[in-house]
Amino acid sequence: MPDHDLHSFMAQITNEMGSEYDRIYARAAQDPGTAGDEGEENWARLFKEWLPPAYHVETKGRLIGHDGRMSPQIDVVVLKPAYPRKLLEKKIWLAGGVAAAFECKTTITAAHVTASIIRCAEFKGLYAPREGSPRVELRSPLIYGLLAHSHSWKGEKSKPIENIQSALEATASKVAHPRLEMDVLCVADLATWSKMLISRYEAAWNPDTEAELTKVFGAACGPMTAMSCSSHDSASQDTTFRPVGALLNDLTRQIAWADPNVRDIADYFRLANLGGSGSGSMRPWPLSTYSSTVAREIAAGRLSNGVPWDEWSIGGL
């Protein structure tokens, strides 16, 4: 593929994030509160500049569920176009009007990853479970992510990607349902992890693990989820890849599932390979994770393959 201006823009953003990190980090010990605020503003500015203009981006606040339950404080929120203008100046965000919520760290650690996974489940717990298709049952209406400028593993032999991956996998068992899982984790100078779904995976596809998968599924098939890691070291990765590009690609795609007006630009980002290539370890879930109606359809194999924006697709949800 010829060079694309989109990838040049992502390189510029990455350089700016790196410069900001150096500036913020130099003063973090003197004033950690201000350093954190400045880091959040960097991410908020990125979303303001790159997400569809109808979406409002705000910092600092808490989500309130329809039943009055409150979330912990969150750093950055992306509000839906229909969000009431009168309430844009408030710092209590109506959960039904929030498209995405993000925690922001200047320098990420394994402890941050673990804590964020637990907090994600708490935030998504404000939303009632949905029924009707594989996608809506396996995903929350809230997109939730963890963002960082850089990481804490700077030694010559350090393995930051493996460390973050280990933290993700070690904490996965504490999440009781796919809809409560984290959607995206981006470290601007390292990699982006994006949640991926397979709505129907047959245990027989892998004879070495068939018995184990059948036990977990409680059937011959079931859903799988994964956090797919895209980094400069990913197999077949283009030299133009940037983690912030993968973040914007994934976030735009997830917003577009709920907002068809965004699908043209989401498709464009995908075709321009903004997300790059990636891979990740799959986690199996019981077939009973689905509602009984959807589970019957999944077991019968009534799914599509390769149909764009189909909530009954085998993958790409």
Range of the domain at 261: 5-192+239-279
Helix H or strand E encompassing 170: helix 160-172
Q: Are 317 and 199 in contact (CB under 8 A)?
A: yes
**Element spanning 104, H or E:** strand 98-108
Q: Which amino acid is at 55?
A: Y
User: Is residue 10 domain-resident?
Assistant: yes
Instruction: Please determine, for residue 224, whether its predicted confidence score (pLDDT) is greater than 90.
Output: yes
Q: Return d(Cα 41, Cα 47) in angstroms, integer.
A: 10
Q: Give me the sign of the Cα torsion angle 216, 221, 222, 227.
A: positive
56, part of any domain: yes
> Is the pLDDT reported for residue 5 higher than 80?
yes
Nearest Cα to 141, choosing from 87, 97, 206?
Answer: 97
Q: Over range 251-270, report the average pLDDT.
A: 98
Would residue 244 count as lying in a domain?
Answer: yes
Q: What is the pLDDT of residue 134?
A: 98
Phi-psi region of 57 (alpha: psi -120 to 50; beta: other; left: phi over 0): beta
Please tell me the distance from the alpha carbon of residue 129 to that of residue 109, in angstroms, as a whole number: 31
In angstroms, how far apart are the furthest CA atoms of the chain? 61
Note the pLDDT tens digit of each residue in 67-81: 999 999 999 999 999
Q: Is the pLDDT of residue 138 over 90?
A: yes
pLDDT band at residue 2 using 50, 70 and 90 as cut-offs: low
Tokens of 165: 């991956």
pTM above threshold 0.85: yes
Question: Residue 298 pLDDT > 70, yes or no?
Answer: yes
Q: Encode pLDDT of 12-57 as tens digits.
A: 999 999 999 889 877 766 767 777 789 899 999 999 999 999 999 9
CA–CA separation, 313 and 294 (whole Å): 13
For the chain, what is the domain count?
1
Question: Is residue 246 domain-resident?
Answer: yes
Q: How far apart are CA 99 and CA 69, in angstroms?
A: 18
Q: Is the residue at 311 inside a domain?
A: no
113 found inside a domain: yes
C-beta of residue 85 within 8 angstroms of C-beta of residue 147: no
Distance separating alpha carbons of residues 220 and 218, to the nearest angstrom: 7
